[in-house]
Amino acid sequence: MLPVWVLIFSASLWGLAWLPLKYFAGQGLSGPMVAFLTFGGLGLLSLPLLVREYAQWRHCIPLFLLLSLVGGWGNTAYISALLAGDVVRVALLFYLAPVWGVLGGRVFLGERITKRRLAALACALGGVVFIVGGDQSFAAPLGWTDFLGLTAGLAFSANNVVARHAQSIPTASKTIALFLGCLLTSALLLALQEGGAAWLLPALSVTVWAYLAAYAIGWLALATVTWQWSVSRMEAGRSGVLGIAELAMALLSATLIGGAMLGAGEWVGAALIAAAALLVAVEPDVQDPNTKL
């Protein structure tokens, strides 16, 4: 049960991430710039540890690179989508992640899709529909931020699958791979913006820089390490459904801290998500003995 509780703790940290992100947005920082400064800075600081553990993962460099790509894009796209787009639309697209997790676990790791897991998946997705208002959220056509939200969820699920398979890569190296992937993907997004203006930092006070450092070291590093550690020790389908507890934490924090008013649909959705998490939390691993990839 330890990986289950660690994953719920990590998901809770991610569910509260909107608090510091809203603050940084108010200071004039974009999503890619926040990812570049925080995740990228952590990646550069962690390079000595990555070099020290190189002998343990040098035989699986392709998996390391794949983990860096999917994990880096997942975090960068998620932060960028939250800051630039409509949070409701982004949430609906991102929280399709359990679907990708269950399907990816089946296709690449040979995990069986049990009746309990199907029921949990239905509860989780039903909860998301209740919370975000169903198809009313898609009255407008899909845009760039919608693409970021959708691919962020897909990349998070791919990260769970790869992390589960790459057992020979230490947790620290998996985490650093994600940090370095964020450095590269956030730099790419910044470079794609017109005229290079995205690289121009607004005038930031010493306090804001201190908050950025604290957010990177005390929040993002902890959330990422605990996430990588837990998903490496449980099935991808199970972790995909449990990770949706992040949405429940976001709703709870928005109500208690942000003063948001939740209607009957939001409360029903939160109850369905909690039921889904409970269903998979107490389920034994059901991975087939002959795994793929």
Determine the angle formed by the axes of helices 264-281 and 115-132, rounding to 10 degrees: 160
CA dist., res. 216 & res. 223, Å (int): 10
pLDDT for the residue numbered 50:
93
Average pLDDT score over residue span 74-81: 89
Determine the pLDDT at residue 290.
40
DSSP reduced 3-state for 263: coil
Distance, CA of 288 to CA of 291 (rounded, Å): 6
**φ and ψ of 244, to 5 deg:** -70, -10
How far does CA 50 lie from the centroid of its chain? 22
Percentage with pLDDT > 70 across the chain: 74
User: Length of the chain, please?
Assistant: 293
The predicted structure's pLDDT at residue 39 = 92
pLDDT value at 91 more than 80: no
Residue 282 pLDDT greater than 50, yes or no: yes
| pLDDT score recorded for residue 191 | 84
Which of 13-22, 93-102, 120-129, 186-195 is predicted with the least confidence, judged by mean pLDDT? 93-102
Domain boundaries, the chain: 2-281
Nearest partner of 185 among 76, 45, 94, judged by Cα: 76
Q: What is the pLDDT of residues 11-39, one digit of tens each?
A: 888 878 878 888 898 898 988 999 999 99
Q: Which of 6-20, 93-107, 229-243 has the highest mean pLDDT?
A: 6-20
Full-model pTM: 0.77
Least confident of 23-37, 67-81, 147-161, 241-255: 241-255
- Rounded Cα gap, residues 285 and 112, in angstroms: 9
Of 109, 111, 222, the C-alpha closest to 167 is 109
